[in-house]
Every structure is written in structure tokens, then in C-alpha cells.
Amino acid sequence: MATQKITIEPVTRIEGHAKVTIHMTKEGKVEHAYFHVNEFRGFEKFCEGRMIFEMPSITPRICGICPVSHHLAAAKTGDIVMGSPPPRTATLLRELMHMGQIIQSHGMHFFELAGPDLILGFDADPATRNVVGLIQADPKLALKAVALRKFGQEIIHKVGDRRIHPNFAIPGGVNKALKKEDRESILKDFDEMIAITQTGLTIFKGWAEKNKEDIDKFAVFPTGYMGLVTPENDLELYHGNIRMVDKKGEELENFDANDYLDYIAEHVEDWSYLKFPYYKKMGYPAGVYRVGPLGRLNTITKIDTPLANEEFKTYRAINNGKPIENTLHYHYARLIEILFAIERVKVLLDDPDILGKDILNTKQNFKGEGVGVIEAPRGTLFHHYKVKENGQIEAVNLIVSTGHNNWAMSKAVDSVAKTYITGPEIREGLLNRVEAAIRAHDPCLSCSTHAVGQMPMIVDLFDHNGKLTQEVKRDF
């Protein structure tokens, strides 16, 4: 069959290279669409030979978007490798910093990346379908969005004493206790942040009610799901066992992160440099799964903070208690997680141990190998180190959140392209839907570096002979 190929390519400099190709038939129908990632994986090699205690400082260099997640995952791995479990106060403080990261990252995603699509519409003029258009449409809401993100950022700053490049968590604990005045300063904004998040939830639910038809046909497909859980299978973002459930929500596994290689394998496709993780026992592609907000909320049975749990009940009722398969509900799940994270901040700050001074365990029982896991904003993040007795790193393996969702992102692109693109003329609004399918997962593709002029969006159209017939470039 004669085909035409369309490429959507945000060209990035280092690890980001990702693009979408849409292969069309001569008749103008989508034959297949792919999401390709050329991820730079030199980082593991870079770590070899470094000292284990350096890892919490080195690994945040991977990512400017979620350095805290790598920082904490590295410290957690160090705890295990060095056989040095942190004191309770240190664990509370690390989790507090992590909640700050969740709030700021999720807040930015909902209000600034996804919000314009939802509030202004997928087909709105791209010149105004952005945060500036949002400000013009609803200035008060925009200010709230900025305040929410700032709140999360301030938690990170107050706990870690640094805005960027955290130098806080170390194997065995943390190196700074929380000041009483910082605790109070964070707490004073609690009510306002809850209210802002509830405003976001109201916006999303109002939009969802009006756009149910879109939600029900926009990248809806079954997969397995994975996330950290508490011993009661409640939502857990900092520390717990990993739970995997199948497409019906039935538990497949509940395991310690150190055993991840028994359950997760990675498949290679010749059209993407990023591997495709899957549940080993089911094989590929039957064992593919999703992580991140939608994956996590499909993995749990409840949330142990009251406001988030109430919202979670409404959320789970959408599919009568079964896993939610709709990609656009990533946004709903993300908002529920913000609510949880804010409530969790208060729980942590109300714990008397949060102001404790016992923050570092200096006793060690060297193990030599360990796996640290954390729920980064966009999904489960694994750090796995093998270390020599002198503390030098021998080997590093990282499975990052975006990797777990690789299959799902490509499937979402394929599904949306087939659903919405039906002719040779492709409107901008339709391409925006394809991009939105990726955005919903909040991938981290190119975050460590941001050079000028590096991220144009290129749409290439190829004829059935592979000849470039048209190039459309969105200027950055």
C-alpha cells in the first residue's frame, strides 16, 4: 500500500531526541504512528568509578526537572549499599522534600502544560493556547498556579537549603535538620494550597463532563499498572513495596524493589533507543504496564489522607472500581496526587519527630549492592548500584519513569492518530491532540540542558517513496 510519513520532531541536543512519525496511506488514513526516543544513556557509565557517597550529588545532574527524585533515589540506594538505615527524622524530612517536588512538578504540568488544552481547547489558536492565553482568560487562576508551584519549590528550598542541586540526603540520613520557623512558614500556606488544587479539580471535572466523548475515545487501552504502595496497598510516593496489577486491577506481584530484576525485563524495538520495560512473566508486549499518576492510582486501593481519598473514590467510580484506561485521566490522577502531597506535607510537619536532631545513622554494615526506588512525579524510578568495598561504584543501572511509559506513549500516539486524523490535510488541532497524548504522561525527554533554539517542532511529510514533500517547523 502506498504510504505517506509525517514526522513530528522536537529536536533536542543531548538525551532528548524524540519524535513522532505518522505513516499514512495514499488515501489519507493513518496506517501506524510511533513515538521514538533517542535517549542518551551515558550517565550510568559516567558514574562508574565515583564514590557511593557522591551519588546523591551526581545523579541530580541527569535532570533539571526532577533532580530531587534522583537525589533521593540515590540516597535510598546508598542506605542499602552501606547498610545504614536512616533515623526516622531523616526519613520524614526526605519525604517532605519529595512532596515539595511532587507539588511543584505536578502543579506546573497541570496548570501550564495541560491546562491550556483543557481550559482553552485542543483546537484553540496555538498563539493563545498556552499559559499566556490562560493568564489572559483567567488571571486569578494563573496567579494561583504560580503560587502552587512556588509552594512546592519553597519546601525543597527550606528543607534542603538550596534551590537547585540538592545537597541534603546522604547514605544513612540527611545533613540538615528542619528549623522551627521553616516548619511554620510552610504550614501557613496549607489551606490556600488545598483550595488552589481543589480549583484545579473543579476545572478538570467540569471539562471532563463536557468532553466525555473525547475522553472516551482518546487513547483508551488496557495495560498493567505499577507503583509503590504501603503495606495496606495505599498510595505511597516515597517508600514501600512495588505492586503490579493487571488490566482488571488484579494483583500480579507485590515485591521489594531489590528484586526488580525478577519481575521486570526490557524489550528493544528497532525504531526507538529507549527500551520497553515489561512484566517478565507475561512477556512482551502482553506484560507492558503504565506508571505515573494514572498507573499509581490504578495500583492502590485507597489513599490515607482524607481529601485525596474522597476524590479518589469519585475517580475510581468512573470505571466502577476497575482500572481507569483513559489517557486523559492522567490529569485527574495528577491533581488527586497534588492534593495527597499537600495533605501529606501537613501530616509530616505535624509529626513531632520532624524537628528532631537525630538525622544521620553513622553505623554501617556494608552490603555492596542495593536498589533504591521512589515514585518520581512521572513514575517509578529505580537506581541500582554495585559498589566495591572501598565505596567505589562498579556498576549502575537506572530505569527512569519515562522508560516505563515508553510503550504506553507510543500506543497513545498511535491510537490518537488513528482516531482523529482522517484525511490528507492535517489541521494543527489534530497534531496538537497527538502531542497531548504524549504530554498526558508528562515525559522527561530533554531536561538537563536547555540551549537557545534547540527545540523546534518539525513535522515532516514523506511520500510513499520516502521523499520529503513538506516540512512544517514550529519556531521556538
Partner 1 sequence: MKNNLFIGYGNPDRGDDGASYHLFIALLNDFGKKDVDLFSSDTTSLNANTDILFNFQLLPEFSEMIGQYQQVVFIDSHTGDIKENISFKSIEPKYHYSPFTHHFSPSSCLAVTQSLTGRYPKAWLLSIRGFQFGFNRELSDQTRQFVNQSLDIIRSEFFE
Residues that bind partner 1 (CB under 8 A): 8, 10, 13-14, 16, 18, 42-43, 46, 61, 64-65, 67, 105, 108-109, 112-113, 126-127, 129-133, 135-136, 139, 142-143, 145-146, 149-150, 153, 161-165, 435, 438-439, 443-455, 457, 474-476
**From the CB of 130, what's the least distance to partner 1, in Å?**
5
The residue among 244 and 409 lying less far from partner 1, judged by its C-beta, is 409
Question: CA dihedral defined by 140, 338, 264, 252, rounded to 10 degrees?
Answer: -130
The residue among 22 and 80 lying less far from partner 1, judged by its C-beta, is 22
The residue among 36 and 243 lying less far from partner 1, judged by its C-beta, is 36
Can you read off the three cell numbers belonging to residue 441? Answer: 504522561
The residue among 245 and 381 lying less far from partner 1, judged by its C-beta, is 381
**From the CB of 314, what's the least distance to partner 1, in Å?**
28
**From the CB of 276, what's the least distance to partner 1, in Å?**
18
DSSP string, 341-383: HHHHHHHHHHSGGGG-S--B-------SEEEEEEEETTEEEEE
- The Cα 45–Cα 29 span in angstroms is 43
**From the CB of 363, what's the least distance to partner 1, in Å?**
30
Q: Within a 10 A sphere around the Cβ of 182, how many other Cβ atoms?
A: 18
**From the CB of 41, what's the least distance to partner 1, in Å?**
12
**From the CB of 141, what's the least distance to partner 1, in Å?**
12
Give, in order, the Cα–Cα distances in Å from 73 to each of 123, 211, 340: 40, 38, 20
The amino acid occupying position 266 is: E
The residue among 68 and 461 lying less far from partner 1, judged by its C-beta, is 68
Can you read off the three cell numbers belonging to residue 7? Answer: 514526522
The residue among 60 and 227 lying less far from partner 1, judged by its C-beta, is 60
Give, in order, the Cα–Cα distances in Å from 445 to each of 13, 15, 322, 384, 449: 10, 7, 31, 21, 10
Q: Are 334 and 106 in contact (CB under 8 A)?
A: yes
